[in-house]
Amino acid sequence: MQISSFDDLLHAARLQPEPQRLLFVFAAVELPDDATPAQRARFQAGEGGALVPLMCVDKTPDELASFGALVEEARQFTAPGHDWAMVFAAALSGTLDKAPTSADAEAPLQRMVDAIKRGAHGTLIPFDRQGRPVHLGE
């Protein structure tokens, strides 16, 4: 299934034969202190920058009605001055008709955070603040 919106992700997760837990890492885009003048110019033009994970959460598809609900929940936990620019999503499958728990999601969420810090986010789906997929590195 082609994921062209956050709603597509929710729909796909609900259709899976095994119960799913959705994993989310919210990230800001910042300009590194050692940025070159060219990097600074690109950043000012809305391009480039470094992804900085801010917070993460896991939800079953049934716990999440919409992207708006996720955004509203994130708003409650966003520290002033640390607003997120995109949210990375992944799914964790259950087994034998048992959904993964939040405890099961801790290690995969940490791996997501580490991957984003390294710039190795190719297996994750990034969404912008409107719930549209973002194509990074193009």
pLDDT tens, position by position, 84-117: 999 999 999 998 888 899 999 999 999 999 999 9
Domain ranges (residues) in the chain:
6-127
Model confidence, pTM: 0.88
pLDDT of residue 114: 95
In the chain, alpha helices (H) = 6-15, 37-44, 67-77, 102-118
pLDDT of residue 50: 84
Q: Which amino acid is at 57?
A: V
pLDDT of residue 103: 96
pLDDT tens, position by position, 38-81: 888 888 887 778 889 999 999 999 999 999 999 999 988 877 77
pLDDT of residue 91: 95
pLDDT of residue 136: 79
